[in-house]
Structure 1
């Protein structure tokens, strides 16, 4: 891309969008990311001190997307900013030239220098063209790993979604459906979240894997439950909970956040049942996309294989840049 290919009527309007506009644009972007939503960013502000800054992306004065930068100050002089899985564009605006120009505008607003530290992981697929666009926009590649995830397209009918499950995954689901499990659904997290977080924290400490802190999850639940963006499912066997998952909604999409299963849950394949019931529930809510929450093929091959079994589309983002 050259300077002659820039889009003169494209701009980012910072610090003016209202919450209602933020929510509307998030939904209109369809395949959105949790980290660009209001509830997540409010939780990050409260728990970790990252202040969100909303930018409305406009083309010829018409909103076509949004971007949320997170900022904090170091020694009151250095502005540290980061962007994780943005910008988000409406489907008709998802063009390479638009993405490249938006990133160039972000670079202009957040220049590189001794008093400005910026890190971005853009919501754009990996590839040589994408890397060339990032360099054109003024960014340089970081050594930090990028991000990979799997998307399940909930616009497909239920029979098609089940047919797309890997054979092994579908067999496990069939086993779970015959195992005498009951599924409890909590649509605001008030009843079951304390229980799930207790199990999750013990499991996380024992297995030493990465994941959001319970405090951050609680703050997200507080900020999102009024919008109906909390979905918690629990599997019960003979009156005893054996597995649970938490899913967070954002616009027309939702993200698998945390999960837990004990030995009985693993033996009965409860996790397969919970995720399948979650797919059904998300479809009833009118969600179009289900983000399975990231994969780490090298560090967590078992979890990655399990998520791949759901038949989603695997996506690798363009990576980390500064």
Structure 2
């Protein structure tokens, strides 16, 4: 990138518009991230005190994307800001020149200095091009590794989704469908969220893995269920709950947020059945993309292998910058 690559008619308009307009633009971005949705930021404000600042990205006065910055004040003089998995651009605007210029505009609004601390994890694929663009925009690379996840394209027919499963994963799904499991679908979290969070908290404490707090999940449910963005599925064996998952929607995409299974559920391959049923339900809702929620090949190889078996496209983001 060079200084000649600036786009003079590109701008970020902050703190404008109605939430309905924001939701429409989020849907138009297609392959969106949960952390750029307003419901997520409502929860973060309530639970952790991060105040969202919403920006609409415009090219020649037409909206082409969005960005949400999270802000906090330290001693009322230091502004701490972060951007996680943004900005989001409409498909036709996802060009390196546009992305680089948007990041440059963000840098101008959030300069680096003693009174301004900014950390960003941009929603752009890792590689030398990404590092070059971020450096041109005024950011420097942090040591944190790039976020990695798997995306499922739900626009494919059901038969193609099933044939795209790894053989081992599909065999486990076939087994689950023969074991007499029944699946309950809760579309607002009223019936099953309390139960799932109890199991999830116990499991997280025993196995000591990282994950969102129960309080944050509850707040997200409160802010998102009216928009139809809550999907909770529970598997029962002989009338007893043995596994459950929570999926959160955002625009035309959704993210696998948390899951739990006991020994009976694992033996019956309940998670395979739940995630397969979630894929079909998301298709019925009109979702196009399913973010499987991140993978850690080195520290969580079993979970990573399980998610890879679902046939998604693996993506590594550019990493953290300051």
Where on the TM-score scale, by shorter chain, does this alignment land: which range? over 0.9
After superposition, the C-alpha distances for 1:175-228 in whole angstroms (9 at most, x for unaligned) are: 000010000000000010000000000000000000000000000000000000
2:235 aligned counterpart, secondary structure: strand
| Displacement of 1:5 | 1.4
Deviations 1:68-93 (A, max 9, x none): 00000111111000000000000000
Identify which range, 9-18 or 94-103, moves more after superposition.
9-18
Residue 241 of structure 1: aligned partner: 241
What is the aligned partner in structure 2 of residue 87 from structure 1? 87
CA distance in 2, matches of 1:51, 1:148: 26
What SS class does the counterpart of residue 188 from structure 1 fall into?
coil
Using structure 2 for the length normalisation, give the TM-score: 1.00
Q: Is the 8 A contact 1:37 1:250 kept in 2?
A: yes
Cα deviation for residue 121 of structure 1 reads 0.2
Q: Deviations over 1:137-195 (max 9, x none)?
A: 00000011220000000000000001110111000000000010000000000010000
Residue 106 of structure 1 is matched in structure 2 by 106
Give 3-state SS (helix, strand or coil) of 2:290's partner: strand
Which residue of the partner structure matches residue 40 of structure 2? 40
Could you say which residue in structure 2 is the equivalent of 1:203?
Answer: 203
Equivalent in the alignment of 1:259: 259
Conserved? CA contact 1:81–1:118, under 8 Å: yes
2:126–2:146 CA contact under 8 A, matched in 1: no
- The answer to whether structure 1 residue 321 and structure 2 residue 321 are counterparts is yes
Q: Which residue of 1 aligns with 2:140?
A: 140
Structure 2 unaligned spans of 5+: none
SS at match of 1:243: strand
Which residue pairs with 2:58 in the alignment?
58
CA contact (8 A) 1:17 1:54 kept: no
* CA–CA distance in structure 2, aligned partners of residues 9 and 71 of structure 1: 27
Cα distance in 2, alignment partners of residues 149 and 96 from structure 1: 21
- Asked if 1:117 is matched to 2:117, the reply is yes
Preserved contact between residue 155 and residue 288 of structure 1 (Cα < 8 Å): yes
Within-5 A mapping of 1:264-303: 264-303=264-303
Structure 1 residues 112-153: Cα deviation after superposition (integer angstroms, max 9, x where no partner)? 000000000000001111110000000000011220000000
Asked whether the 8 Å contact 2:244–2:271 carries over to 1, the reply is yes
Distance 2:21 2:93 in 1: 17
Segments of 5+ residues of structure 1 without an aligned counterpart are none
Give the C-alpha shift of residue 3 in structure 1.
1.2
SS at structure 2 position matched to 1:155: coil
Q: Residue deviations 1:275-298, cap 9 Å, x none?
A: 000000000000000000001111
CA distance in 2: counterparts of 1:304 and 1:121, whole angstroms = 21
Write out aligned runs for 1:162-173 (5 A). 162-173=162-173
Offset, 1:17? 2.5
2:161 maps to which residue?
Answer: 161
1:17–1:55 CA contact under 8 A, matched in 2: no
Aligned to 1:213: 213
TM-score with structure 1 setting the length: 1.00
What is the Cα-based RMSD across aligned positions, in Å? Answer: 0.5
Is the 8 Å Cα contact of residues 34 and 254 (structure 2) preserved in structure 1? yes
Give 3-state SS (helix, strand or coil) of 1:133's partner. Answer: helix
